[in-house]
Structure 1
Amino acid sequence: MTINAIHSTAALPSWTILCDFDGTISFKDVTDTLLDAFGMSGWQHLEQQWEAGDIGSRECMAGQIALLDASRRELNECLSSLTIDPGFAEFAAYAHKRKVPLHIVSDGLDYAINFILQANGLSGIPVIANSLRQVSERRWALDFPYHNPQCLKGSGVCKCGVAKAVAVNKILMIGDGRSDFCVSQVADHVFAKKSLVDECRRMGVPFSAFRDFSTLPALLDGLLEQRERVYLAPVEQLIIRGMCDQPS
């Protein structure tokens, strides 16, 4: 009776997955692809200012999206040409099976991300991103529902703020680059590729390197099993002591 009571009240710490989109799930940066195809003169200068650290990504992207010259049909045709990691769907299904909430958190475009997910037969995954809005037949604007005025990076989506808002307990971050550097420092573990690997090493952040999503179900399994071993060991010791303390 005592053993059953201990097991029934021992709740494992929960995890939430925050996953970047551009360059992580998608092979190409979606915004850059649209700008290459439809951007008017001036968007490259904004990109250079952002890369130099003179402006934040929010200011950069707001200016760049205002320079898009494309109809919705043209935009959709371009988005249809973009591909995602073929292993992502399996990983999303596996996370759901293991009851680990998965959120896509991107400093990119919500419309584009949702369009690409739907084109790949994926639905039901929450997307937290900047809001793309059509203002005329060929012009667009960007709104920032997840902007944090205190964000040190001046991001459109403050991923650190999102992490604090959605994570129940532990945070698993999946990403590839610059927009993931800050939030990786507050994550409990990172699945990292490309430049994020070097950043995690530099900052001493716990991480697992990966190349594509096909390896991530096994990595997630290992992380969850490690959590269970660490958490259940004290409970098992308590059970054993309780049994040994019983009068013979």
Structure 2
Amino acid sequence: MILLTPSSDFFQYANKLLLSDHATRLQIKEFARKNAANVLSMANMVMGMASILSSLNGHHHAACWLVLIGYLLDLADGAVARRLNACSALGAKLDDFADFTTFGIATSLLLRTSDLLDNVLCICYVLSVFVRLCFFSSGIPFVYRGLPCIYSSAIVASASLLSGGNLSVLRVITVAMILFMISQNFYPHDKILESQTWKKVVYAGGVAMVFCSPFLPACVYYLLWSSSYILFPTSLWSCKL
């Protein structure tokens, strides 16, 4: 009887395949780790662009909800980047571009009408977001100078939904948000998903409200959540772990 045994070449080839497969899996995992937060920022930008298209096509409610979804994504991307130790200059730039798209251009279009003054107000809002994104640093760790545009956008979108797009209400709120964003007041940089448990519950409630809640409670929830950052910045949203 003749015994057939694999050659050493076969073992070497199989070993190389296993090593190559293992290296490929490691590369994929590393790529996913480095880009998970960037994917969230890109998703935020997509929400902004979809909101812009919705506004231009007259789908006002959809435009507002897409801004609120971008709000949730923006709160998550920084936490994911820090959790995975994947912070980068590229990620910071991508986050700024996404914020400008969703919380600048898309939010301003919620106010768009054929009236000249409304268009001027839209431009002023976009410029305020641009200034806020360029000069947000206060020089003090964990503190912003001027209201973060994410909260002003959530307030505008929520108020727009609750008021049925009432232009008088939106004009007043928009002017107030512009003043808050360009002010020199200090606001805490709170890492909601890396902070107290109740803040994580608030975030989870926001996710549930978008996808599972009736219209009115969800709008009120987001309006109260974003307004509380202005009304009680230190007592509620200071960076306490």
- Scaled to the shorter chain, the TM-score interval is under 0.3
Q: TM-score, normalization: structure 1? A: 0.24
Higher relative contact order (Cα pairs below 8 Å, separated by 6+ residues): 1
Which structure has more strand as a fraction of its residues? 1
Which structure has more helix as a fraction of its residues? 2
Higher gyration radius (CA): 2
Q: TM-score, normalization: structure 2? A: 0.24
